[in-house]
Amino acid sequence: MLFDEISTKNSAQQVMEEVVSLVEEEGFSAGEKIPSEKELMEYLDFGRSTIREALHALVAIGVLESRPGKGYFVRQYHKIPLYSNEFLARIMNDDSFFDLMESRKIMERSIFMIAAERATDEDIEKIESSLAQLKKALEAGRDNITDLTTDVHFAIARATHNQILVGLLEQLSPIIAEKIEGTSIPPQDDYDTHRKLVEGVKSGDPNKAEDAILNHLEQMKERYLDHLQEETQNGYQEDSPNVN
């Protein structure tokens, strides 16, 4: 079973590399449709499940965009460092990355929409208090305010009055903290983002709250991928021969 899982992962990684190379060699531009799953199966000689896993991974990291009923289109192609496939390898070998992104999106999307509907005046006061602590730390010149941003998320989660959701967030938070460790988030940007999250919940409009958290999660994913890419590029440059 373990060998099968490793083989599947390696195959999906290979397909990712082949698709990236295909896009580069054929000169696909942003917004242009790539070959269909069936065409890729024939061209690359892999099964549908492997092709689909690779395409979903490329969607998750912002290279492709999936349009239901239409196929896959080039999105942010520049995010992939074409000088090395190590970046793709690291993404595919990060077992929790895709699961974490998906799980957090599902969970916090629900939390924010429910909180916007259920938050009492007392809940809003506590949420605003957590944001005030964040602002105080920012004004004091703290370089890292991640622990306080987490407090904002928990204050919003408690406003759902659903202990299961709060408990799920408690379980997921340490994994999130570990995953974003090393990413550079300017404190002012971090504060501004969480102020928007609070405003979304305070609006009482579930749609506004949903937009706020989805934008935040997209930004976090981009920062993580940029950090991972930077690490990969630095490693590539260190391993390259010095030609002067």
For the chain, what is the mean pLDDT? 80
Can you tell me the distance from the alpha carbon of 179 to that of 160, in angstroms, rounded to the nearest whole number?
Answer: 26
Would you say residue 202 has pLDDT above 60?
A: yes
The SS3 call for residue 75 is coil
Q: Which domains does the chain have, with CATH numbers?
A: 2-93 (1.10.10.10), 97-237 (1.20.120.530)
For the stretch 25-37, pLDDT in tens is: 888 888 889 999 9
What mean pLDDT do residues 172-196 have? 80
21 vs 238: which has the higher pLDDT: 21
Q: For 36-45, 149-158, 214-223, which range has the lowest pLDDT when averaged over its residues?
A: 214-223
Per-residue confidence at 89, pLDDT binned at 50, 70, 90?
A: low
Would you say residue 239 has pLDDT above 60?
A: no
140 vs 76: which has the higher pLDDT: 140
Quick one: pLDDT at residue 222? 77
What type of residue sits at position 190?
D
The SS3 call for residue 72 is strand
60 vs 119: which has the higher pLDDT: 119
Would you say residue 213 has pLDDT above 90?
A: yes
Query: Which range is most confident: 49-63, 87-101, 217-231?
Result: 49-63
131 close to 152: Cβ distance less than 8 angstroms: yes
Whether this prediction's pTM lies above 0.85 is answered by no
Quick one: pLDDT at residue 69? 85
DSSP state of 64: E
Please, where are the H alpha helices in the chain?
Answer: 2-26, 37-44, 48-60, 86-93, 97-118, 121-139, 146-158, 163-180, 187-202, 206-239
Can you tell me the distance from the alpha carbon of 84 to that of 60, in angstroms, rounded to the nearest whole number?
Answer: 19
Give CA separation, 157 vs 32, 123, 126, 160, 193, in Å: 40, 10, 11, 6, 17
DSSP state of 71: E
CB atoms within 10 A of CB 182: 11
CA torsion angle 169 89 232 57 (round to 10): -50
Quick one: pLDDT at residue 236? 44
Can you tell me the distance from the alpha carbon of 241 to that of 244, in angstroms, rounded to the nearest whole number?
Answer: 10
Quick one: pLDDT at residue 109? 94
Phi/psi of residue 93, each to 5°?
A: -85, -5
Exposed e or buried b per residue across 76-107, where buried means at least 16 C-beta atoms within 10 angstroms of its C-beta:
ebeebbeebbbbbbbbbeeeebbebbebbeeb
Query: Which range is most confident: 70-84, 111-125, 164-178, 218-232?
Result: 111-125
